[in-house]
Structure 1
Amino acid sequence: MGETLKVRPRVWIGLAIYVGYATVVFTVQAFSGVRYDELGESGSNLFLGAGLSLIIAAVLLAITTSLLGWWRPALFEQHRSVRWPIIAPILMAVALVFNLIATDWAAYDGAFLAASLVILLVGFTEELTTRGLLLTALRSRLAEVWVWLLTSALFAAMHLLNATSGQALGATIQQVVFAFVGGTVFYILRRVTGTLIWAMVLHGLWDFSTFAVTHGTVGPLAAIGATINLLAGALALISVAFVIRGANERISAPTPSIA
């Protein structure tokens, strides 16, 4: 894998990308003037308040990853972990199906649906930033347990920014806790399948489903989805040790083309 790298992975590079991503998203969303608690009111609010920042961030992340030459380590594992912990991501997928069933689709118009589809990009941007590029950088120095812990914690910390754009502090703290658990589910999916791509897909669909189910009248099956998601998170926290155990994913690049 080392021969494909243009820049040797270093922890500070991963952290700089993380801060840069958060800064770009926060800045674009702040200039939109749309509060977090107003995103679901219309398609234009959702696009300007969230979708636009994701489009810009996706382009910048793709350019950055190409310049670094980190696509392969960011997207693929060298070795897959034990398989059975995939039960947690499967449960999360089942939960999002219940969200979609419980969605009031009659409340959708074309603009809101289009903006909602743009939200799928969050799976690409947030996963590539944290469990892609940041993970690659951390693996250059740290043991895998720290890679899981820091990528999940920093992914969760991203959501603190929502408190600065209108979301109540209590709701934000709760979101941060759930994001850490969700990040663990996505980490497990990467390790079990050997690729970040499936985590990107699940993450994007999950966020799409959470916006969808809260638009209009929430159906009764949403409670079942929430319960299943809690079970997925609990199982993820229990099983993550098994996907970390024996991991040999350290990144080395003995002769990078750029220092």
Structure 2
Amino acid sequence: MESIEQPNEQSAWRRFWNRGGWWKALLVAAVYYGLYQLAGVLINLAFGGLVDKDNVFANGLSVFIGIGAPILVGSILLVLFGLSLRWLKELFGRQPVRGSWWMWIGVAIVLVFNLLRFASVDWAGWNAGAVVGVLISGLCIGFAEELLTRGFAVNLLRRGGYGERSVMLLSSLIFAALHSGNLFTGQNPLVVGITVVYTFAFGVIMYTSLRVTGNLIWPMLLHASTDPSLILLGGGIDATGGNLHPGPLAGVANLANWAVMLFAIIPIIFVRGRVDRAAAYGMHDPAIPATSVPPAAPVS
């Protein structure tokens, strides 16, 4: 059995983060968002000439430089942060708590509607290189945003002693807040508001997919297939395609947002329980003797 490292064996940096807390989860997200935006500015200064100013989706290089590259930089920074904390094995390992069977419904909703969107895409209206660029960018988005919110945020909240409902809600709020930054790009506030509501609900489903699959890789892959399906069908969750002519299933596929938001109500009502911090992280409540730590509450 792998031994648990004692607090006095950890650096001050690791002790700080290992104690967890909601504000630390928010801090990580805020710093990530700032560095992601900075990376976008620097990449634009260096390679902005490769991006088609009239249509970022004109070709593969334009898509990757304009969308994927800043997120790739963010992904690398998150991995380096995880390495500094020695958390990567923990984050990508088996979850300390499993989910209930009904959580698979959320996974199925996302997967089925993603497939419907891909089946409805007007492939003839897309440049082949742009499609590859969108898929690669989607992988970067799924990896970075899930590592940040269902990885670091969830871990920090659990280490902070929060129950699983609070972990789900707070990590989903952080995920939604990241998308509120679209206000600063000049997007319509109503569209941004709808996007924030949708991304909160989507975050709830990604949390349940983390729970029911038991591994961070699966919500990453679900997320990585969602953004490309949205972009390729019509320009994204906050835009519509101009000259694209989607297939006959597009009307059904466009019901996905409603399905996601409606299903998210179920976890909000039924998720409960708490991770046993002593068993999962070697953390004990100072008010409780280490020899008498109670078992974890049942988790649904």
Q: TM-score, normalised by structure 2?
A: 0.76
1:179 maps to 199
Any idea what SS the aligned residue of 1:3 has? coil
Pair 1:157-2:177 in alignment: yes
Greater shift after overlay, 88-97 or 73-82?
73-82
Name 1:127's counterpart in structure 2: 146
The 5 A counterparts of 1:4-153 are 7=14, 8-11=18-21, 12-31=23-42, 32=44, 39-75=56-92, 76-119=94-137, 120-141=139-160, 142-153=162-173
What CA distance in whole angstroms lies between the structure 2 residues aligned with 1:38 and 1:170?
23
- Bigger CA radius of gyration: 2
Number of positions where the alignment pairs a residue of Structure 1 with one of Structure 2: 254
Q: CA deviation at 1:228?
A: 4.0
Does 22-31 or 51-60 show the bigger shift? Answer: 22-31
Aligned residues of 2:4 and 2:282 also touching (Cα < 8 A)? yes
Can you list the C-alpha shifts for 1:3-62, whole angstroms capped at 9, x where unaligned? Answer: 379622422543332112111222233453779995445444422221011111111111
Q: Which amino acid aligns with 1:220?
A: P
Aligned partner letter, 1:146 = S
Q: Distance in 1 between matches of 2:111 and 2:90?
A: 25
**Contact (CA 8 Å) 1:96, 1:209: kept in 2 or not?**
yes
Q: In the TM superposition, what is the alpha-carbon distance from 1:66 to its structure 2 partner?
A: 1.3
CA contact (8 A) 1:98 1:221 kept: yes
Q: CA deviation at 1:187?
A: 0.4
For 1:104, give the aligned amino acid. Answer: D
Gaps of 5+ in 1: none
Q: Identity percentage over the alignment? A: 29
- Superposed CA offset, 1:138-171 (max 9, x none): 1112222211111001100101112222432221
Shift of the 187–211 alpha-carbon distance from structure 1 to 2, 3 Å rule, reads: same
Using a 3 Å threshold, how does the CA distance of structure 1 residues 214 and 140 change in structure 2: closer, same or farther?
A: same
Match of 2:281 in 1: 252
Q: Look up the SS of the partner of 2:187 in the other structure.
A: coil
Distance 1:60 1:2, change over 3 A: farther
Structure 2: stretches of 5+ with no match in the other structure? 236-243, 285-300
- C-alpha distance 92-254 of structure 1, shift in aligned 2 (>3 A): closer
Cα RMSD after superposing both structures: 2.7
Shift of 1:68: 0.6
